Amino acid sequence: MMITDTAPFRYPHYHRSTDTADKLDFQRMTQVVDALTEVVISLAGG
């Protein structure tokens, strides 16, 4: 999920050959997904 269009300015590897899986921050992605899940549940009235 992309909340903003400023990724090229924040991440030097964005859409380049150096943008590889070893640079992914799975812990941070988990936190984002967990937070978004809570938002969706809340908006759904749960």
Look at the alpha carbons of 10, 12, 35, 27 in this order and tell me if their dihedral is positive or negative: negative
Q: Average pLDDT of 11-39?
A: 94
Number of domains in the chain: 1
Q: Average pLDDT of 18-45?
A: 95
Report the mean per-residue pLDDT for the chain. 89
pLDDT category of residue 2 using cuts at 50, 70 and 90: low
DSSP category for residue 4: -
| Residue 13 belongs to a domain | no
Q: Tell me the pTM.
A: 0.65
Amino acid at 11: Y
| Residue 29 belongs to a domain | yes
Q: Which domain holds residue 34?
A: 21-46
| Residue 6 belongs to a domain | no
